[in-house]
Structure 1
Amino acid sequence: MFSSNLIGFILAVVSSAFIGSSFIIKKKGLRKAGANGARAGSGGYGYLLEPLWWVGMFTMIVGEIANFVAYIYAPAVLVTPLGALSIIVSAVLAHFMLNEKLQKMGMLGCLLCVVGSTMIVLHAPLEESLNSVQEIWVLATQPAFLLYVGSVVAVALVLILYCAPRYGQTNILIYIGICSVIGSLTVMSVKAIGIAIKLTLEGLNQAKCIETWIFAMVALTCVITQLNYLNMVSVL
């Protein structure tokens, strides 16, 4: 167990480094694209033709793959908090590459990220062994969790359909809120897919289970939505 958790820990840290770097590279690409057309924050998609943005996107994909594999080896409660390290990487790189000076409140925020992540990682519980995606599905269809999912979807729809068009350009918390609430579902579905892949490699084919594909569709939908609003955050 310790060995698996250590592998997951290392992969999560590497993932944070790549993802944190990708935000800076993509922002430079978004700025360059915005100088020649509609900005992403205004609904423009000209950045899709900007090579620098794709370099950042590739860097993020590498980081997300490392993060995905980390979920296979370690519990979500261990991997997810380490994602906060990407904030510190982005803050440091932004200071040097984008001339965005890190103020005292920003430094305090980075410190709190480190302290919070460390506390959660040190007290991460052992993960219950699961033998199939069906077991995850049973847990995911419990009334309490379904109520949570319904609440997340409702909040996300309000933010996307009502708040974003009206306040998104002036309040960065709208886009951050969308990415955050949807991200909770991303973690759950990615963890399920990771377990499915691990079990399949061990000889228990999970690709034939409809639940595996449902989790995959949820993860894909959540990731695409988060990427769209993260691009909007980057240019505010």
Structure 2
Amino acid sequence: MTAQFVLANTRLAPVPLTPEVRLHLADEAIELWERTESANGEQMPPPFWAFAWAGGQALARYVLDNPALVHGRDVLDLAAGSGLVAIAAMHAGAARVTAVEIDALAVAAIGINAEANAVAVTPLLGDVLEQEPDAEVVLAGDVFYSREMTRRMLAYLRRAAGRGARVLVGDPGRAYLPKDHLTLLAEYDVPVPQTLEDAPVKRTTVWAVNP
């Protein structure tokens, strides 16, 4: 059901800030949100996988423009959503990319989108934030949207940085962005669907996580 649901509710289109990457994206946010709530008569996670969020777009753009960051390295994309950042990392020459999600529909979308871009990405269903990181590069787009998620995500990202990984995040100005633990790398103006955000273009930043 998962792959069919993704394909039935999206269309393949270039990502605004990274047209090198095409994703299966939804045209209408509210209708798809309602469909995921009623699918199989049970509550499903929100369809974050169906949209190119600003944080992920900015991070993907940075990776594509700075391929030495990931070239030949083992990369982990956390809360990967559509798989945009993971796909960008593969285009930039990563040796291996694992894209982690807690939503089975997102895992299906990552596989479908990787195939559409002719790259190999390993989707992983599960919560890895209590595990010890071992990737050489860790990437996370738009993950500081709640206090609890920020606490857990920042702890994982700082552990990864402390073990020597290069750790980058993309953020469109979320309230819980932990700037005290980050170093600014780049800024972008990112087109986004207005049904998802408060403006059609979001000023979005890319940061390195400090150990």
Q: Fold-level match, TM-score > 0.5? A: no
Pick the structure with greater CA Rg. 1
Greater strand fraction, Structure 1 or Structure 2:
2
